[in-house]
Structure 1
């Protein structure tokens, strides 16, 4: 006998079905897009010994039990990035993946602890090339006008390309590069009071979240490019200006849709960045599990051809296509 809860679950699926059909068609469209452009679809493991190195992402821990009884700690990956770079380093091919990823402790109208990430890597492409391709993909997948939070956002017009420095000058009134690593100077220029224990990176993201993200991508999609070097993650520094990294994020209607890099191939620099991230994570979250360094990735990086790569939130793309207000509206089950 079905309970009211079970019945409610069935009704929710039935109510979502038109949106879920659209989701299914978009999956088919994505695969056709990448197939036409010569990409190879790949599949990488979800349970891995190294889930990622991003400081503030919390992971799901699990383990593999061998027939001998040996237990090996594993984690559900937060991105397939490390594995996909190893494939590009080994093959030199253009690749893509629609992967399930996990980030513990997340949940909101735009977040779920388990979601679908579209990632693709294009050898020989620079940041501008990847922005062009991303713009074409989004234009292919979305209607000509997206309605979001009372804004009608044209998708057919050229997307805005705005550097982080330009965005902070325009919307914060601060020179984010000249004040790099000087929290007091950034706070003074922004006209805010520095909070107790707030460091430059904390203030940078507070201003980004409060003053920049709410106003970009509202009149047209916006690529936010050339991030401060301290926010490079796995991106190359810009040869013309080492104060910035060759990275962009894409915003549409108040939604951060994608994050992209010109990929760093210097294993020594990447190791140093990982070590710094691991140190910060241990200080901020001492209760969280630890894992070994990804030596397989570091060994592969010197063989990585000049490549740009991007991670795009597929569920959020479906939200924009359908007008769904919550990410949960376009999931088959929660």
Structure 2
């Protein structure tokens, strides 16, 4: 048992607990300083989007914190703490900014575990006119920077290790599902990317995998990804899980020549997802259609939906081609310091 685990029953502000946590927190500050220096050296402008939004995001499984904004007239309007600064940052791209980044708190409800916290720090950045290979390269550079800052040769989490200095593995989602789960994803969608949940369920049954009552394609995809694929990623070296099915990439543009696949990637080390990035979708009508479909499914599963950000959809008409990515800064600090859970790298965790 680590010292941090041994003290976990005591409040974080207990002097002895803080003394044990402090070296990691100071390392966090050094990593943050290194990240900000990297962004400055690569001509990123640091921006500061507001956390309070009319729409917190429109993805099925992201849950927001709601509140009420009361005007001078005493009337209230429902508002949300954002789950990502994405909508605001893309409006800034529409306004004419070329290379921007933010490092700030975001909020996600229904999330708490060794790797999840309801309030956490997200590093998000965009490059106008550049392919998403460019932000993948940024991600790899930042992982190495974090390791160099703390002086570690490898990242370790639970029983897994990963060399951040080794050449990353680049693996498309279709190949990852076949390799690690025996699932042929392309057989479960048509040429336009429309998915067939029953076809996916039948493949799972043929492999002896348990199939839940909910046989929607998206739910089964997430189940297989979480249970069979993700544990195999980022072991020994970083994995770039690339080319997601279009049905699982509401904010990404499709791969030219194949409507089934999108320009979306996720970055893994030690089985831990660190970053999620896109070749950004700029077609407002297509984005509206995808958001509406996401909210319909959210209504079906969770009996709730969030409004669309009409300003964001209007801004897409002016937004240039770009690539972007969001990286969980706290998770990066965890891996670079060997911390056992996310609370260990937060200066002041949210009370349970």
State the TM bucket, normalised to the shorter chain. Answer: over 0.9
The structural deviation recorded for 1:269 is 0.0
Aligned length: 329
| Match 1:312 to one of 319, 327, 332 | 327
Distance 1:38 1:7 in 2: 37
User: Structure 1 residue runs of 4+, over 6 Å off?
Assistant: 4-7
Counterpart position of 2:340: 325
The structural deviation recorded for 1:291 is 4.2
Distance 1:5 1:219 in 2: 35
> 2:108, 2:119 within 8 Å by CA — same for their partners in 1?
yes
Distance 2:123 2:12 in 1: 33
Counterpart position of 2:4: none
- What are the equivalent positions in structure 2 for 1:171-182 lying under 5 Å apart? 171-180=180-189, 181-182=195-196
Counterpart position of 2:130: 125
1:27 maps onto 2:32 in alignment: yes
Distance 1:322 1:133 in 2: 20
| Match 2:248 to one of 214, 218, 231 | 231
The structural deviation recorded for 1:198 is 1.8
Counterpart of 2:343 in 1: which secondary structure?
A: helix
> 1:109, 1:326 within 8 Å by CA — same for their partners in 2?
yes
- What are the equivalent positions in structure 2 for 1:176-255 lying under 5 Å apart? 176-180=185-189, 181-190=195-204, 191=207, 192-255=209-272
Counterpart position of 1:99: 104
| Match 1:159 to one of 151, 165, 168 | 168
Counterpart position of 1:276: 293
Distance 2:257 2:23 in 1: 49
1:141 maps onto 2:146 in alignment: yes
Distance 2:307 2:243 in 1: 30
- RMSD (Å), alpha carbons: 1.7
Deviates more, 1:50-59 or 1:141-150: 141-150
Distance 1:91 1:227 in 2: 29
> 1:238, 1:246 within 8 Å by CA — same for their partners in 2?
yes
| Match 2:21 to one of 1, 16, 19 | 16
> 2:198, 2:215 within 8 Å by CA — same for their partners in 1?
no
The structural deviation recorded for 1:194 is 2.8
What are the superposed Cα offsets for residues 30-53 of structure 1, whole Å, 9 maximum, x if unpaired?
A: 110000000000001111111111
Deviates more, 1:83-92 or 1:176-185: 176-185
TM-score, structure 2 normalization: 0.89
The structural deviation recorded for 1:240 is 2.7
Distance 2:273 2:297 in 1: 25
TM-score, structure 1 normalization: 0.94
Counterpart position of 1:56: 61
> 2:12, 2:18 within 8 Å by CA — same for their partners in 1?
no
> 2:10, 2:17 within 8 Å by CA — same for their partners in 1?
no
What are the superposed Cα offsets for residues 59-94 of structure 1, whole Å, 9 maximum, x if unpaired?
A: 111122222222222111110000000001111320
> 1:183, 1:194 within 8 Å by CA — same for their partners in 2?
no
> 2:252, 2:263 within 8 Å by CA — same for their partners in 1?
yes
User: Residues 308, 8 of structure 1: CA spacing in aligned structure 2 closer, same or farther, 3 A cutoff?
Assistant: closer
Distance 1:146 1:6 in 2: 27
Name structure 2 gaps, 5 residues minimum. Answer: 1-8, 190-194
Distance 2:215 2:202 in 1: 14
Name structure 1 gaps, 5 residues minimum. Answer: none
